[in-house]
Amino acid sequence: MLKNEAPFVIAKPKILIVDDYEDNLFTLTKLLKALDVDVHQATSGDAALALALDHDFCVAILDVQMPGMTGYELAELLRGNESTSKLPIIFLSAMYSDEYHHRKGYDAGAVDFLSKPYIPDILLSKVRVFISLYEQRLQLESWGHWLEFLVAERTDELSQSYNDTLLGWAKALELRERETAGHSHRVVELTLKITKEIGISAEKQIHIHRGALLHDIGKMGVSDTILLKPDSLTPGEWEEMRKHPVYAYELLRHIKFLEPALNIPYAHHEKWDGTGYPRGLKGEEIPLEARIFALADVWDALTSNRPYRKAMPRSEAIQYIRDQCGTHFDPNLVERFVRMMERDA
């Protein structure tokens, strides 16, 4: 291996499945084996918890109703343990398929809830998303370790390598969404302009720069049929699209050098009044950098030409930002943003 070559070996993804019926485990294992994964089985919550603590699973598929510990209780224990707190969980249930139990599952920490009998192709499609995120996370970790190894002798080159890599990911995503070409570059520049306007330190601007570049990286987990759909999305498709901040978090959270940059990819669709997603954060619960980026992101969307509409005139875009003050945007930031945009017109 060359001295400057980043070592990278993809471990075979591991999936945890939990069900107290052996037949169900057999059927699900046979289905998942088609994905070339290692499947680990457990017939109880206690056994599943022990496995989860010993292995790095890319996703856990849990039955709800089991003797002793229910799937909900297991999910809460997994969420409460630092080493398993971010493990993606999919619930499968035949008895509990109503809206109440779906909500209960999401509250317990699930990323999805499927009713039995499930459609195999749909289940496999969802699992593939988390396998992809897992493999990309391993690759990012490998690159991160490699770059950290060089930091002592190549600080400047290291920083450039980080940024070049992130820029490459952003450009790769724009190739999927051709109608937003140039969007990442523009919102990064405007976001940094706002941060300088309000006096954020140069050190924090480095992380804001990276977060802005990666703001939509979670869309790599959204299928092309949804991302590139020319027509309006269905409610179900919107639900999937709104998961992209969660996918971004799952992809990036293990990468040490990106931890300070996570707030923008994870929280840039939150709104000041609490009606945003994915967590419904409100007011100053939303990280400052995400509140700043939201202004830049919406401004660029309003003032850029798209195939289905022309760019909004600058004066109308400023009025729109004012109208959304206190609902979508932080009122204190709106005042300073509008002043900046009017001054620099």
Give pLDDT, residue 109: 82
Give 108-143 pLDDT, tens digit per residue: 888 888 888 889 999 999 899 888 888 877 777 766
Give 177-211 pLDDT, tens digit per residue: 554 557 788 999 999 999 999 999 998 998 999 89
Strands 112-115 and 89-93: parallel
Give pLDDT, residue 103: 83
Give pLDDT, residue 165: 59
Rounded-to-integer distance, Cα 135 and Cα 215, Å: 20
Would you put residue 274 in left (φ > 0), alpha (ψ -120 to 50) or beta? left
Do the domains at 14-133 and 154-343 have one common CATH topology? no
Give 237-264 pLDDT, tens digit per residue: 999 999 999 998 988 887 787 888 999 9
Domain ranges of the chain: 14-133, 154-343
DSSP 8-state class, residue 177? -
Q: Name the pLDDT band for 154 (thresholds 50, 70, 90).
A: low
Question: Can you state the angle between helices 71-80 and 45-54, rounded to 10 degrees?
Answer: 30
Rounded-to-integer distance, Cα 160 and Cα 166, Å: 10
The CATH number corresponding to 154-343 among 1.10.3210.10, 1.20.120.1200, 3.40.50.2300, 1.25.40.20 equals 1.10.3210.10
- Look up the pTM and report it: 0.56
In degrees and rounded to multiples of 5, residue 228 shows phi and psi of -105, 10
| Mean pLDDT of the region 47-53 | 95
**Residue percentage of the chain with pLDDT more than 70:** 83
pLDDT higher than 90, residue 38: yes
Q: What CATH superfamily classification does 14-133 receive? A: Response regulator (3.40.50.2300)
What is the SS3 string spanning 283-321?
HHHCCHHHHHHHHHHHHHHHHCCECCECCCCHHHHHHHH
Give pLDDT, residue 10: 58
Give pLDDT, residue 133: 85
Distances (CA, A) of 108 to 63, 105, 206, 276: 13, 5, 35, 20
Helix (DSSP H) and strand (DSSP E) numbers for the chain: 15, 5
The residues, ordered by sequence, that sit 6+ positions from 248 with a Cβ below 8 Å of its Cβ are: 214, 215, 216, 217, 218, 262, 265, 266
Q: CA angle 47-132-99, nearest 5°?
A: 60
**Token reading at 72:** 């909900």
Chain centroid offset of residue 169 CA? 14
> Are the beta carbons of 46 and 76 closer than 8 angstroms?
no
**Token reading at 106:** 């999401």
Rounded-to-integer distance, Cα 96 and Cα 116, Å: 9
Q: Name the pLDDT band for 26 (thresholds 50, 70, 90).
A: very high
